[in-house]
Amino acid sequence: MSFDFLVVGAGVAGLRAAITLAEQGTVLVVAKDTLEESSTEYAQGGIAVALSDDDNFSLHLQDTLMAGDGLCYEPAVEALVQEGPQRIDELLNWGANFDKENGQFLMAREGAHSRSRVLHAGGDSTGREIARSLYEKALSLPKLSFQSFAAVTDLLMEEGAVSGAVAYDQKSRRRIDVHARAVLLATGGAGQLFLNTTNPTVATGDGIGIAYRVGAEVSDVEFIQFHPTALFIPGRPRFLLSEALRGEGALLRNINGERFMHRYHAMEELAPRDVVSRSIIAEMGATNATHVLLDLSHKDAGWIRQRFPTIYETCFRFGIDLTKEAAPVHPAAHYIMGGVRTDLHGQTSVAGLFAAGEAACTGVHGANRLASNSLLEGVVFGARAGEAMLAAGPQRCSGRTFGDEQFPLLTREALQQMAWDGCGIARDAAGISRVLDAIDHGGRLNIAEPDRRDYERRNLATVLRLVAKAALKREESRGGHYRTDFPARQDPPRHSSLRRGQMTELISWPELS
């Protein structure tokens, strides 16, 4: 099977890149599950962009840098905020419908934003609406094809460059070689690494694991954003209760009904996510509780149902009426700031291999992502990656599979528990070292006919090992990485750098090579 370009992942970054690529070549977009099952679909909060009269690029840039806790790569942030309005205009032209009132866009304010700059669609279904508009645009392009239920497991390599990938087709249970001039990894995040996560089941760090195995540089994966408010009902998935709830006035209370955020940060409920998550964990410890409460019941009932229809209906199905009572919440893994390191155009350190969206690390998020910047990153850097891939060299139709045919003995559930205990919200050297020891001595085996779960488990083990190695090396606390044994920041800020066969380093970023 041969195409000019292969895009792995059908979220916002992958679709936006594919639209550009299909203007000049044949494109295959591969989705591991249904085309609707991506992190984009679960993005409730919105998309941040400086559009209002009291806002500008500089303010958005400064808010992003502040949230990133000293580690943002400023040229990447400049690209994000300056190109954002152009990408929003594209979405509007392609049929995206953002919420309006009296003909004007409704702009919400979320945690750590100094202005109301977050566009929403359907109240709390922004990601779904953006994905819909991109997908419908993509369907109109004759050179663009889709393949769902196919998991890319390995890359094809020739003379040090990527020449395609190997996809595992779940329906036929066979592996298919896909040759391409360039490959884009837009596989989303790695939330399924953790016991508690808001991410869909497909978010198993595939892009990071695949890229690392071929020698690509991986950076800043120790920075994990734990969303403070996931619905906590034992035995149920951790459904995200959006940052926008607190932006619109929801209050955090302990199990005794007392507000507590004023004891931890001057911005109270609107403090950065890492601060709020640690504060909730501390308050749970102080009150010997399994959760805290998120209370919106003081707001108008009709407004709640209109502004947050999906959240309201989901909570109601679980027996919680947000117009009358508070919801039990607990932090959960939500977003990985690091990933496969790229330049400002999606190029990784391996020729022919590109990455965009949550799987990539441009440095735009630094140590802690500003709320609602992720969808914007997807459309901005997805477009940039697509433009850069058009310049890729001629197709190489040979190539050998580059992958590790051994699989970890550790179960998915064991890896998730280890990650939560040792590399979760609060970390120390002893806990991180236990994770590394368990992975390195957990045993491996050859599987004659591996399936998707086996490939996912291999990627989860790879990514957890990278997270642990970087977390152990970083003897400081910064953004989404908090060490109880090193609670202070260490300046100057440095990025983690991990490559197969090389020592883990903390470095100031040189030019990508």
Kindly state the greatest CA–CA separation across the chain. Answer: 65
Determine the residue type at 237. P
Query: Which residues belong to the active site?
Result: 273
Compute the distance between CA of residue 386 and CA of residue 108 in angstroms, rounded to an integer. 30
Q: Which residues pair with 48 in a beta bridge?
A: 118
CA distances from 217 to 86, 403, 432, 440, 513 (A): 30, 16, 22, 21, 9
Query: Which pairing describes strands 360-361 and 339-341: parallel, antiparallel, or unpaired?
Result: parallel
Cβ-Cβ contacts under 8 Å for 351 (sequence gap 6 or more): 160, 161, 162
Asked if residue 492 has a cis previous peptide bond (ω within 30° of 0), the answer is yes
Cβ-Cβ contacts under 8 Å for 93 (sequence gap 6 or more): none
Dihedral (CA of 147, 5, 168, 347) sign = negative
Compute the distance between CA of residue 90 and CA of residue 81 in angstroms, rounded to an integer. 15
With 0-12 CB in 10 A as exposed, 13-18 as middle and 19+ as buried, what is 289? middle
Element (H, E) at 127: helix 126-139
Write the DSSP string, 486-507: B-S--SS--EEEE-TTS--EEE
Cβ-Cβ contacts under 8 Å for 211 (sequence gap 6 or more): 155, 185, 218, 340, 348, 350, 353, 355, 359
Cβ-Cβ contacts under 8 Å for 505 (sequence gap 6 or more): 473, 496, 497, 498
